Amino acid sequence: LTDEKTKQARLRDRLATADLRLSVQLDAGATGCDAMQATTSTGGVVYGAHRARLDPAHAQRIIGITGDGDQGLIALQACQAYAKEVSGTK
């Protein structure tokens, strides 16, 4: 849990300093001056997809929401493990 919190904090810091930018893939029919050609990564090929960069403030909020969701899933997993332990089922 501590490692994941550290990773999220680093990600938020990188977003805040513009060291990292989040982007979204646009609909195939979408056009606009802010669209940028997607880059290909090792192990993946993008055919003509366009991406738009998210505003850093919005990216921070998205990371916060996913962090909250991660915390909820971790708590649920702990509750399930506890319930199995006290009920004697495995």
- In the prediction, which pLDDT does 46 show? 53
Using DSSP, state whether 23 is helix, strand or coil: strand
Residues 48 and 54: their CA atoms lie apart, in Å, by 19
Contact 63, 35 (CB under 8 A): no
- In the prediction, which pLDDT does 45 show? 46
Q: What is the pLDDT of residues 2-25, one digit of tens each?
A: 777 788 788 878 877 777 787 778
Its domain, for residue 26, covers 2-87
39-47, long-range: CB < 8 A, 24+ apart: none
Q: What is the pLDDT of residues 31-70, one digit of tens each?
A: 554 544 445 454 444 555 688 888 888 888 888 888 888 8
The predicted model scores a pTM of: 0.51
Contact 53, 23 (CB under 8 A): yes
Q: Is the pLDDT of residue 77 over 50?
A: yes
- In the prediction, which pLDDT does 40 show? 45
Q: How many domains does the chain have?
A: 1
Residues 22 and 79: their CA atoms lie apart, in Å, by 33
